Amino acid sequence: MTPAPDGATAADRLPNSETASSDQALAEQGYDLCPAAAAPGRILLIACGALAREILAVTRQSGLEHLDLICLPAKLHNTPEHIPDAVRAAVTRHRASYPEIKLLYADCGTGGRLAALCDALGIEMLPGAHCYALFDGIGRFAARGEMTSFYLTDFLVRQFDAFVWRPLGLDRHPELRDLYFGNYRSLVHLAQVEDAATADLAAEHAARLGLAFERRLTGYGDLGASLETWARPGGERGSASRDI
């Protein structure tokens, strides 16, 4: 992971949020934004790189400056079987410095293995199946029951080629598109922020996949509730999962 220079706040450390290169770094290497030695009372967040910007936005908005953040490479999403080992390694590396660690991953295709690991390590994780549900709102997402929708968050819209197009081989074999997406009807852009360029890009991706396009402005959804519950002084263990 790319280490951050000392002395900067977490929000300062993330490179320009609009640059493709920083998204690529979050996808490929992740980021380690926490100080070398944790001050007392600080909580470590271990997160997916795909959530980095949103987590920093929430912590900045809510004044949760006692939360430190490291991000694992977002590309782990393409091989979810490797997520638990990466999480275990990160927890092991930071446990001595942080008595309290929270994991900002949902199940993310691990088939319950991440939850089992968190139980074994005694740490809390986000509820739900994946980050789409988290941004939409876990309850609302489940209630929609949208089986034929393909979801993209802002990060995934910007990193569409790296996370969807190329891993599925569509850059080399576009004729495979309908084998992958033939059962889908629409691409739904779950937008965290208002941004016309990202919205236009999402619409382009829908056209490339041959799907109808829908955009929903979700904001940060249940991510904020989780972070605020975890960050509250004396916050009850497990309450984040119950609240949202």
Partner 1 sequence: MSEDESGEEIILSDLDDAELVEQMFDDLYDGMKEEIEEGVRILLGRGWPPYRVLTEALVGGMKIVGEDFRDGILFVPEVLLAAGAMKGGMAILKPLLAETGAPTIGKMVIGTVKGDIHDIGKNLVSMMMEGAGFEVVDLGINNAVEAYLEAMEAEKPDILGMSALLTTTMPYMKVVIDTLVARGLRDDYIVLVGGAPLNEEFGRAIGADAYCRDAAVAVETAKALIARRHNRAAAG
Quickly tell me which residue has 């993330």 as its tokens: 14
Cβ-based neighbour number of residue 115 at 10 Å: 18
The residue from 17, 62, 80, 195 that contacts partner 1 (CB under 8 A) is: 80
The residue from 54, 107, 136, 154 that contacts partner 1 (CB under 8 A) is: 107
* Residue 104 contacts residue 126 (beta carbons within 8 Å): yes
At its nearest, how many Å lie between partner 1 and the CB of residue 183? 4
**Per-residue binder mask for partner 1 (CB under 8 A), 31-70, x = binder:** ----------------------------------------
Cα(64)–Cα(56) distance, integer angstroms: 9
184 binds partner 1 (CB under 8 A): yes
86 binds partner 1 (CB under 8 A): no
**Which C-beta is closer to partner 1: that of 26 or that of 106?**
106
Half-sphere exposure of 206 (CA within 13 A, CB side): 21
Cα(200)–Cα(157) distance, integer angstroms: 10
168 binds partner 1 (CB under 8 A): yes
The residue from 34, 52, 75, 110 that contacts partner 1 (CB under 8 A) is: 110
173 binds partner 1 (CB under 8 A): yes
Through-space distance between the first and last CA atoms of the chain, rounded to whole angstroms: 31
At its nearest, how many Å lie between partner 1 and the CB of residue 92? 23
**Amino acid identity for residue 192 in this structure:** Q
111 binds partner 1 (CB under 8 A): yes
Query: Among 15-23, 141-149, 211-219, 227-235, which window interacts with partner 1 (CB under 8 A)?
Result: 141-149
The residue from 60, 113, 208, 215 that contacts partner 1 (CB under 8 A) is: 113
Nearest to 10 by CA among 84, 63, 80, 69: 69
Sheet containing 212-217: give its strands across. Answer: 149-153, 186-191, 212-217
At its nearest, how many Å lie between partner 1 and the CB of residue 208? 16
At its nearest, how many Å lie between partner 1 and the CB of residue 148? 6
**Which C-beta is closer to partner 1: that of 146 or that of 228?**
146
* Residue 220 contacts residue 57 (beta carbons within 8 Å): yes
At its nearest, how many Å lie between partner 1 and the CB of residue 112? 7
The residue from 148, 200, 217, 236 that contacts partner 1 (CB under 8 A) is: 148
Sheet containing 67-72: give its strands across. Answer: 2-3, 31-32, 67-72, 43-48, 101-104, 124-125
Helices 113-121 & 83-94, crossing angle to 10 degrees? 20
- Residue ranges binding partner 1 (CB under 8 A): 80, 107, 109-113, 129, 145, 147-148, 168-170, 172-173, 176, 179-180, 183-184
